[in-house]
Amino acid sequence: MLEAVIFDMDGVIVDTHPVHREAWRLFLLSLGRVVSDGELDFVLDGRKRGEILRHFLGTLSDSEVHKYGERKDEYFKKASLEVNPLPGVLKFLRTLVKAGIATAVATSASESRTRHTLERLRLSDKISTVITGDDVELGKPDPSVYILACERLDVSPRNALAIEDAVSGIQAARGAGLNCIGVASHESAGKLRAVGAAYVVKDFRNLSLSRLQRCLPHSQPGDASGGIVQRPQTKSGICSA
């Protein structure tokens, strides 16, 4: 029985990737570090802020990570007026809440940015538990963030589903024992399936509780109509709806 749905934040609940990428570009430019679009792909794979900072800036102390992280978050907040929820996610969250299914966010983002984003979009009251990169020692693909989310929700991973848009996020969810739905917001459907996504969707507009139930390990998958893709895939690997 489905008891909980655990969401990643960036690229899943909110379409933050363009703003997130630009905030990192401007922050790094302020330090004299010019990075290409290809290099900025590194920031979109569910990594903790400290890992990203050390990737671009080299060895940093914990205090430097905190200081630089706050500066980067200021760039994000200045641009966050452009951030919008993914299509259908608000209605989907309301459906889950009405059905008594627990909801959580499990993200590698910092607590301050996560809270700011959820409050800015008035989503905080629809999320019962929030786990951020500040709550765990290791970021995704380590499963800690999903293990902790299940513990705080008091649900078995077997009865919870994760929704992720990044390869490392799916690996983290699967490592914690959860089945996972992929959202192809910036990764290809093929990559998400290859690391364990049970289904891949473009957005939330046609997801239903009955189809979520079929993603649990002790359920049988149903048809792929209405926005969920299952094997065999369409040529693009993403549903047409």
Under DSSP, is residue 115 helix (H, G, I), strand (E, B) or coil? helix
Which has the closest alpha carbon to 14: 197, 166, 185, 150? Answer: 185
Strand segments, DSSP code E, in the chain are 4-7, 102-106, 129-131, 160-164, 179-183, 199-201
CB atoms within 10 A of CB 129: 18
209 class by beta-carbon count within 10 Å (0-12 exposed, 13-18 middle, 19+ buried): middle
CB 229 within 8 Å of CB 189: yes
Omega of the bond leading into 232 within 30 degrees of 0 (cis): yes
CB 178 within 8 Å of CB 159: no
Task: Give every strand in the sheet of 4-7, ordered side by side.
Answer: 129-131, 102-106, 4-7, 160-164, 179-183, 199-201
The tally of CA atoms less than 13 A away on the side-chain side of residue 141 is 9
**Active-site annotation holder among 8, 15, 142, 203:** 8
59 class by beta-carbon count within 10 Å (0-12 exposed, 13-18 middle, 19+ buried): exposed
Torsion from C-alpha of 104, 106, 107, 113, nearest 10 degrees: 40
Active site residue 8: yes
Task: List, by residue number, the catalytic residues.
Answer: 8
